[in-house]
């Protein structure tokens, strides 16, 4: 019964989305206030209905209602509660429902918090959002209904892929989708602006927080996914350039570019059609990812069970959404008037450089991901494009971005003095050069790449901190004056500082994981000892244990350095009888400067076990860095001008002991 | 002219969509190399230093594949775990079955690679070091390990991505190198 309520809620949401997609658009055209206002109520109503459907599905999973096909195929009664819940979105139909839920959530948020938007822009934005929802709800109702019943329910379910039974992955899709789908709002804003024929500073200020929120979610989502791959797949790596990873990374690159170009639109009234294009492209990349994962055109470890009928449907959806918006772009964008002009050496110039290279990187990842498909279709043979291609192309494209992201904030708008900026940065240059030389000496000049990488990380972190110091005139004015300036600095500026520091941490972490790791593979019996990077690992014992729905072999390692034991880690190999699969759980001890990582492979008490032990310096910084980056986004979101939406951001605080108090 | 530029994104998008439409009918899981039954790419790699075998110090190049005798090319790295797993099979191929096996050492530190061979045994006739990974890109290497069978004229007959298994060795590779002559 509850499943049917969910189904009906979906149908009702579909009908409401139809209203939301049409009436407000006509109202905005005619200038009819009532019709425009319909956008808000339908957006909120649609969200409530999809939420109801989602709750019905989660309920079916929690109560193990195996008369629902989706539950029978993807759940099992002995599964821990967390994975019963996360199982609701661990499959094609359920994840699509999560998609629709977040889509309508963003629509409802614009309806509720977008009070200061001009009514016609708000109505058009929500109408576009309604169109996307219409497409996805139709897709679900016609090809992928999560509430289908089976006539003869099985006594128990088929279980969930054991790899997915993991806390990291339980929360990975919600964050990732929040980012993926959140970009729909930037897209809707862009299309609405094209319909209106007007893009101005106010538009950029409205669209930026939504993009920023989606970007934060996407950053955390990608970080969680990579973290999961690191400890669950058990080979010490964190990123594999798998088509599905790329599918989440391309929208991230586009959204990052969008965040930066929107600043230029807001402050300088330039780069308008480019920003609109980026907003369209960013969401198109999300849709593309959805298509790639669900249509079976590419192979991936993450792909859902595929079905050609679904593929055709999503492709049609993709073609209409992206093709339609790009047609509108081709017709309308040339008419957008730009007033801001700037010299190549300027803040705008640096942001443009960032945009060019981020877009080129996104295009490269796109090409690498789709190249096998292109050749296959042209009957030119089958190839696969792996890490060698991405490693050779992505790094060089990122290098200018990493260089410019430090210098950019020192440059003034419109026209800047490069020499002067570099003079302020001499300490950063010195630190980076020192780091490079130091690494070259310590590693015996073995490779230039690790040294340059370390230099880049030091450059970003030092340069970003120097920018903050320069902003508050640290050491040039009395400390109390600096403190006063620090408190007057808008939160958006702090957001940038924090996010850029996060990038520095990620660069350092990636470097540690790729060039500085030490690894040792051997056969061990209890009592055996192995030395890795100055740490002594002793295999203490291997024990059998029973989990809620698996049996495991757990290896306990004692780790000591200089004869002093300081940690034990447990590495497990789990066998899931229901699914007939095994997984590895790496034992990780982190010192925050390095990870000590142990994995147990096959073996038995007589012959011993294969063990792999890694020393991964700086790796924890990858995830720390992604969290710091999104934290920067959140800080920027709390900026006064976004909360108030008025351009009066230069008002000094009234003084008093507290830091700048929120206005509301 | 400038107006036309604004249509470029649309054209690209429609082009990609067309490819997707055709791609829906194809199965990406058949994953042979694009180079099957084609000549192996032109390449020349410096020798991996520090190996025990003396005559192996002259590098690996395309000419080593056109000696008239079928050879096996195995792409490996010391940091690669499946390479350890398949190593006994490579060893068997070279020492027990008498097949010439050349190695391409993919993105590795030479000292680590040489130490790895000392520890696990060195079945390779020649080992070229591909530190930049460039040659491996030409071969279409997806990840290590990968194994290719090349006939006496330098034409690639077979490719296996991932660690070898006894079945692959017996059913696919041995018939090719023994029968192909």
Distance from CA of B170 to the nearest CA of A (A): 24
Interchain contact, B6 vs A521, CB within 8 Å? no
pLDDT tens-digit readout, A65-116: 888 888 888 888 888 888 888 888 888 889 899 999 999 999 999 999 888 8
Cα A227 to chain centroid, rounded: 12
Q: Tell me what pLDDT residue A511 has.
A: 83
3-class state of residue A75 by DSSP: coil
What pLDDT band is residue A233 in, cutting at 50, 70 and 90?
Answer: confident
Interchain contact, B26 vs A377, CB within 8 Å? yes
Q: Tell me what pLDDT residue A649 has.
A: 38
What are A602's two structure tokens? 């096959």
Mean pLDDT of B2-23: 85
Query: Does A446 score more than 70 pLDDT?
Result: no
Q: What are phi and psi of A556, to 5 degrees?
A: -105, 120
Query: Where is mean pLDDT largest: A120-134, A400-414, A469-483, B11-25?
Result: A120-134
Q: How far is CA A109 from CA A112, A645, A646, B33, B133, in A?
A: 5, 16, 19, 49, 49
User: Which residues, numbered 37 to 76 in chain B, qualify as contacts with chain A under a Cβ-Cβ cut-off of 8 Å?
Assistant: none
Q: To which residue do tokens 């570019």 refer?
A: A257
Q: Which residue is closest to A313 within chain B, CA to CA?
A: B21
Residue contacts between A and B (CB atoms, under 8 Å): 111
Distance from CA of A215 to the nearest CA of B (A): 23
CB-based burial of residue B65 (10 Å sphere; 0-12 exposed, 13-18 middle, 19+ buried)?
A: buried
Query: Does B33 score more than 70 pLDDT?
Result: no
Q: Tell me what pLDDT residue A41 has.
A: 93
Query: Does A648 score more than 50 pLDDT?
Result: no
Q: Tell me what pLDDT residue B36 has.
A: 77
Query: Where is mean pLDDT largest: B16-30, B51-65, B118-132?
Result: B118-132
The residue that leads in pLDDT, A446 or A411, is A411
Interchain contact, A299 vs B32, CB within 8 Å? no
What is the percent of chain A where pLDDT is above 70? 92
Interchain contact, B17 vs A323, CB within 8 Å? yes
User: Which residues, numbered 454 to 513 in chain A, qualify as contacts with chain B under a Cβ-Cβ cut-off of 8 Å?
Assistant: none
Interchain contact, B143 vs A326, CB within 8 Å? no
Query: Where is mean pLDDT largest: A55-59, A227-231, A416-420?
Result: A55-59
pLDDT tens-digit readout, A368-415: 888 877 887 787 666 667 778 888 888 889 888 998 899 988 888 888
Q: Which residue is closest to B3 within chain A, CA to CA?
A: A334
Q: Tell me what pLDDT residue A663 has.
A: 35
Mean pLDDT of A614-631: 92
Interchain contact, B24 vs A295, CB within 8 Å? yes
pLDDT tens-digit readout, B124-140: 988 998 888 788 878 87
Strands (E) across A405-500 are located at none
Interchain contact, A330 vs B7, CB within 8 Å? yes
User: Which residues, numbered 244 to 263 in chain A, qualify as contacts with chain B under a Cβ-Cβ cut-off of 8 Å?
Assistant: none
Residues from chain B that touch A312, judged by Cβ atoms under 8 A, are: 21, 24
What pLDDT band is residue B55 in, cutting at 50, 70 and 90?
Answer: low
Q: Tell me what pLDDT residue A659 has.
A: 36
Interchain contact, B19 vs A374, CB within 8 Å? yes
Query: Does B176 score more than 90 pLDDT?
Result: no
DSSP labels for A152-193? S--SS-----GGG-SHHHHHHHHHHHHHHHHHHHHHHHHHHH
Give just the sign of the alpha carbon dihedral A179, A181, A183, A186: negative
Strands B100-106 and B127-130: parallel
Query: Does A448 score more than 90 pLDDT?
Result: no
Q: Tell me what pLDDT residue B134 has.
A: 81
What pLDDT band is residue A643 in, cutting at 50, 70 and 90?
Answer: low
**Neighbour tally for B15: CB within 10 Å:** 11
Query: Does B82 score more than 80 pLDDT?
Result: no
Mean pLDDT of A5-9: 95
Q: Tell me what pLDDT residue A335 has.
A: 84
End-to-end CA distance of chain A: 44
d(CA B113, CA B93): 20
Mean pLDDT of A116-124: 90
- Nearest CA-CA partner of A346 in A406, A409, A401, A400: A409
Q: What are phi and psi of A84, to 5 degrees?
A: -65, -45
Q: Is A444 an interface residue toward B (CB < 8 Å)? A: no
d(CA A47, CA A53): 10
- Nearest CA-CA partner of A493 in A410, A425, A398: A410
Q: What is the mean pLDDT of chain A?
A: 85
Interchain contact, A299 vs B29, CB within 8 Å? yes
């Amino acid at each position: 019964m509850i499943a049917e309520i969910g189904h009906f809620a979906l149908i009702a949401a579909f009908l409401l989305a139809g209203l939301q997609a049409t009436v407000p658009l006509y109202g905005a055209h005619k200038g009819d206030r009532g019709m425009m206002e319909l956008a808000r109520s339908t957006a909120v109503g649609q969200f409530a209905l999809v939420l109801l459907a989602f709750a019905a599905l989660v309920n079916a999973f929690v109560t193990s209602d195996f008369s629902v096909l989706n539950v029978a195929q993807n759940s099992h009664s002995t599964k821990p509660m967390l994975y019963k819940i996360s199982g609701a979105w661990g499959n094609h139909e359920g994840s699509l429902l999560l998609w629709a839920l977040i889509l309508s959530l963003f629509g409802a948020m614009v309806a509720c918090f977008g009070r200061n938007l001009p009514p016609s822009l708000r109505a058009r934005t929500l109408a576009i959002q309604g169109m996307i929802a219409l497409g996805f709800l139709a897709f679900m109702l016609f090809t992928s209904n999560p509430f289908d019943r089976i006539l003869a329910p099985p006594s128990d379910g088929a279980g969930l892929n054991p790899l997915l039974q993991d806390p990291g992955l339980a929360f990975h899709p919600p964050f990732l989708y929040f980012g993926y789908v959140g970009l729909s709002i930037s897209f809707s804003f862009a299309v609405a602006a094209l319909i209106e024929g007007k893009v101005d500073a106010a538009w950029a200020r409205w669209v930026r927080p939504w993009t920023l929120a989606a970007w934060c979610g996407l950053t955390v989502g990608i970080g969680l996914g990579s973290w999961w791959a690191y400890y669950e797949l058990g080979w010490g790596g964190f990123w594999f350039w798998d088509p599905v990873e790329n599918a989440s990374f391309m929208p991230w690159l586009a959204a990052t570019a969008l965040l930066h170009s929107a600043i230029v639109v807001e402050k300088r009234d330039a780069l308008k059609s480019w920003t609109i294009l980026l907003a369209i492209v960013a969401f198109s990349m999300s849709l593309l990812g959805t298509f790639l994962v669900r249509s079976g055109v590419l192979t991936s470890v993450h792909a859902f069970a595929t079905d050609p009928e679904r593929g055709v449907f999503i492709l049609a959806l993709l073609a209409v959404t992206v093709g339609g918006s790009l047609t509108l772009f081709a017709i309308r964008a040339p008419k957008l008037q730009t007033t801001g002009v700037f010299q190549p050496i300027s803040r705008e110039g640096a942001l443009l450089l960032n945009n060019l290279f981020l877009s080129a990187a996104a295009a490269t990842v796109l090409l690498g991901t789709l190249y096998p498909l292109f050749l296959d279709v042209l009957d030119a043979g089958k190839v696969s494009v792996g890490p060698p291609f991405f490693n050779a192309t992505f790094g060089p494209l990122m290098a200018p971005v990493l260089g410019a992201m430090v210098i950019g904030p020192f440059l003034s708008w419109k026209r800047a003095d490069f020499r002067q900026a570099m003079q302020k940065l001499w300490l950063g240059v010195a630190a980076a050069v020192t780091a490079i030389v130091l690494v070259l000496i310590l590693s015996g000049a073995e490779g230039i790449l690790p040294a340059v990488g370390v230099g880049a990380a030091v450059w970003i972190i030092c340069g970003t901190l120097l920018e903050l110091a320069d902003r508050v005139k640290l050491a040039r004015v009395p400390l109390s004056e600096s403190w006063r300036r620090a408190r007057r600095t808008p939160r958006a500026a702090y957001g940038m500082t924090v996010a850029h520091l996060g990038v520095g941490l990620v660069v350092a972490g990636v470097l540690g994981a790729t060039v500085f790791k030490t690894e040792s593979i051997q056969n061990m019996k209890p009592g055996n000892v192995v030395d890795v990077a100055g740490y002594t690992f002793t295999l203490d014992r291997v024990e059998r244990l029973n989990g809620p729905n698996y049996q495991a072999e757990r290896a306990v390692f004692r780790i000591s350095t200089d004869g002093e034991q300081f940690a034990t880690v447990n590495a497990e190999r789990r066998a899931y009888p229901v699914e007939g699969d095994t997984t590895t759980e790496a034992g990780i001890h982190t010192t925050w400067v390095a990870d000590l990582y142990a994995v147990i492979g096959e073996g038995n008490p007589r012959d011993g076990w294969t063990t792999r032990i890694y020393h991964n310096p700086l790796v924890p910084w990858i995830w720390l860095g992604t969290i710091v980056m999104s934290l920067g986004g959140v800080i920027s979101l709390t900026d006064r001008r976004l909360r108030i939406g008025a351009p009066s951001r230069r008002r000094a605080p009234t003084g008093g002991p507290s830091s700048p108090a929120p206005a509301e | 002219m400038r107006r036309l530029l604004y249509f470029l994104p649309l054209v690209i998008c429609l082009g990609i969509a067309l490819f997707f439409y055709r791609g829906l009918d194809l199965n990406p899981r058949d994953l042979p190399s694009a180079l099957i039954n084609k000549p192996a790419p032109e390449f020349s790699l410096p020798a991996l230093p520090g190996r025990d075998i003396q005559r192996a110090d002259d590098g690996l190049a395309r000419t080593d594949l056109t000696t008239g005798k079928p050879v096996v090319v195995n792409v490996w790295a010391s940091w690669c775990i499946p390479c350890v797993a398949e190593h006994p099979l490579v060893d068997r191929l070279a020492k027990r079955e008498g097949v010439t096996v050349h190695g391409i050492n993919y993105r590795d530190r030479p000292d680590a690679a040489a130490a790895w061979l000392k520890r696990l045994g060195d079945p390779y006739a020649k080992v070229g070091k591909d530190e930049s990974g460039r040659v491996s890109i030409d071969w279409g290497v997806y990840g290590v390990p990968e194994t290719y069978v090349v006939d006496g004229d330098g034409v690639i007959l077979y490719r296996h991505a991932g660690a070898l298994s006894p079945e692959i060795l017996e059913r696919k590779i041995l018939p090719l190198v023994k029968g192909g002559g």
